[in-house]
Chains A and B, each alone.
Chain A
Amino acid sequence: MTTIPDVTRPGPEDTDGHPGSAPDVSLEADALVHAPGPPPGASRPRTALRAAVPPLVLGSALIGLWYVISYVILEPHRRFLLQPPHQVLDNGFLDWDAYSRILRALWNSTQVALIGLGIAISIGFFLATIMSQAKMVERAVFPFAVTLQAIPILAIVPMIGFWFGYGTTARVIVCIIISLFPIIMNTLFGLQSAERGMHDLFTLHHANRLTRLRKLMFPAALPAVFAGLRISAGLSVIGAIVGDFFFGQGEAGIGQLLRRYASQLDGEELLTSVIMSSALGVVVFWTFGWIQKLVIGKWHETEVLG
């Protein structure tokens, strides 16, 4: 076992003197800047650098802490509980056999999450739209939507398996249940967010219900819809992993893998899977943020974080 990693990690001094590290994070810094007009060209790399340094410093500190735990706090015979970072890198990320298995499982879970999210979006949009059109429907559906939100997902996972089997269908249903509420609520809130003056304008010019919905309520709802989508997308990924953890049939996803690695005490692979699952969540969150920027960034003052 080597003591000091030969793999270079970016230390704090690395980020200061190394301009090459700035472009990597400029995208992220971009998203942090408020929507209106690009700042004057000269200040841009500097802003990016300023945005990049704090997380890099914190990240390096955390990796340092990780080393301290692995080598100082844990005695050698208990070191398997938290292998040092370069070990995880070697046996998880750089061992193609293990890594490709993780990626395949992750891909399966991603597909489940996306299918579930897609169905939740369709149901959510539909429900929110009819709720926005009839107060009665809103009153009828609202308590159930809130109840849906309150269900502890772990409590009903066994029931879902019992009813729908232990395959892909059950996994997708977990995703739908967990991601539906924010879509309904945000879409409904968005549809109701058009100002009274704008509604008056449409009333004044004899717009019918469909025109009002199409030209006023739907576009007005978009910012809230995207806020809901980002939350739901993250939840759907969690749903896919939780569902997969419990349902063993069909194509195994990352949940099954996590369970197997944990029971076999494969610390490095387990950590790799956890890191990759988190990465998936982050990628999904970013992707929706990016779509949001693409669709409404031109007109909406969005504060896109992350």
Chain B
Amino acid sequence: MKGETDLVMTSNTNGALSFDGIGMIFPDGTEALQEITFSIDRGEFITVVGPSGCGKSTLLRIASGLLEPTAGSVEVDRDRLGYVFQDATLLPWRTVRQNVELLAELHGFDTAERKRLSTAAIDLVGLQGFENHYPKSLSGGMKMRTSLARTLTLKPPVFLFDEPFGAVDEITREHLNEETQRLFQSEGFAGLFITHSISEAVFMSTKVLVMSNRPGRIVASFDVPFGYPRQPQLRFDPEFALLSGEVSLALRGST
């Protein structure tokens, strides 16, 4: 094992994002991840659930290249990688529109193009009318929407979400889940979503992976059979409840 993590273009058949034998031992000796192998294609939305501290964020940091794994390799095109963090990380000195335009700015799009992209993204997340608001006057859910819109401007082929809705209330979270699921359908990206919430996982994904306690390993995998678009009332479907129960059991077994 050479531990090479150089990005390889998505030209081969392994999917838009693939992990091959990823292991991570931090310099202080903490072993966070062990033998993680799976891949995600475009049109797939995979959610990882796992106990706190099992290495989920570490996995995303490795996927994005912010962190080098100590074993294994990642294949992904990092040119226009979408990555939504746990907190919105909006720049407080920029308005909603300016925040949404940031990534397009960093990628060198011209003013007209930026404006077009940000308008479209703001419409997609339903923030019309708030373009000129500063983050300090937005609610938690609106900040998260802004953060989503910012990432959407890049039309990323691969979209990473690190517990983005952990800090908003239940109702808002359900709305945001419905929107994310709609965006997934319309944009067709490959999604990797981290969460603590089983119902969120089952509601949005094509597949749910369960991670064990640290060091994190994939201990169970569930295909979600529901088609898209998914309606809010799916959450009351017996089949939905059954699947959620199975995931929950696997999660308990993993700790």
Say whether A and B bind each other. yes
Chain A residues near B (Cβ < 8 Å): 36, 195, 197-198, 200-207, 211, 215-216, 219-220, 222, 296, 298-301
Using a CB–CB cutoff of 8 Å, the interface residues on chain B facing chain A are: 64-66, 81, 83, 85, 87, 89, 91-94, 102-103, 105-107, 134-137
When the two chains form their complex, are residues B93 and A222 in contact, meaning their CB atoms are under 8 A apart?
yes
Are A204 and B64 in touch, CB under 8 angstroms?
A: yes
Q: Are A204 and B81 in contact (CB under 8 A)?
A: yes
Known: A205-B103, A211-B106, A299-B93. A200 touches B85 (CB 8 A): yes
Q: Would you call A299 and B89 a contact (CB within 8 A)? A: no
| CA A195 to CA B87, docked complex, whole Å | 11
Q: Is the CB of B106 within 8 A of A298?
A: no
Q: Which residues of B sit under 8 angstroms from A195, Cβ to Cβ?
A: 89
Which residues of B lie under 8 Å from residue A197 when comparing CB positions? 85, 87, 89
- The CA of A107 and the CA of B94, in the complex, are separated in Å by 39
Q: A204-B66, A205-B106, A207-B106 are in contact. Are A298 and B134 (CB under 8 A)?
A: yes
Check B92 against A206 for contact (C-beta < 8 Å): no
Residues on the A chain within 8 Å of B107, using CB:
205
- Determine the chain B residues whose CB is within 8 A of the CB of A198 once the complex forms: 89, 91
Question: What CA separation (Å) do A219 and B89 show in the bound complex?
Answer: 14
Whether B85 and A300, one on each chain, are in contact in the complex, defined by CB atoms closer than 8 angstroms, is no
User: CA of A202 to CA of B91 in the docked complex: distance in angstroms?
Assistant: 11
B105 to chain A, nearest CB (A): 8
Q: A216 — which chain B residues lie within 8 A by C-beta?
A: 91
Nearest-Cβ distance from residue B175 to partner chain A, whole angstroms: 24
Residues of B within 8 A of A211 (CB): 106
The 10 closest A-B pairs by CB, nearest first: A197-B89, A205-B106, A299-B134, A219-B93, A299-B93, A299-B92, A197-B85, A207-B106, A198-B89, A205-B103
- 19 residue pairs from A and B, CB less than 8 Å apart: A36-B136, A195-B89, A198-B89, A201-B102, A204-B65, A204-B66, A204-B83, A205-B103, A205-B106, A207-B106, A215-B102, A215-B105, A220-B91, A222-B93, A298-B134, A299-B134, A299-B136, A300-B93, A301-B136
Q: Which of B66, B89, B136 contacts A203 (CB 8 A)?
A: B66
B68 to chain A, nearest CB (A): 13
A206 & B89 in contact (Cβ 8 Å cutoff): no
**How far does the alpha carbon of A149 sit from the alpha carbon of B66 in the complex, in Å?**
39
Q: Which residues of A contact B92 (CB under 8 A)?
A: 299-300
Asked whether A299 lies within 8 Å of B135 as measured between CB atoms, the reply is yes
Query: Chain B residues with Cβ under 8 A from A219's Cβ?
Result: 91, 93
Check B136 against A202 for contact (C-beta < 8 Å): no
Most buried by B among A296, A299, A300: A299
Contact residues in A for B87 (Cβ distance below 8 Å): 197
Interface centre among A198, A205, A222, A296 (most CB of B within 10 A): A205
Which single member of A36, A202, A204 contacts B137 (CB below 8 Å)? Answer: A36
Residues of B within 8 A of A296 (CB): 93
Chain B residues near A202 (CB-CB < 8 A): 106
Would you call B136 and A206 a contact (CB within 8 A)? Answer: no
Q: Return the chain A residue nearest B134 by Cβ.
A: A299
Assembly CA distance A99 to B125 (angstroms): 64
State the CA gap A154–B135 with chains docked (Å). Answer: 47
B230 → A minimal CB distance (Å): 29
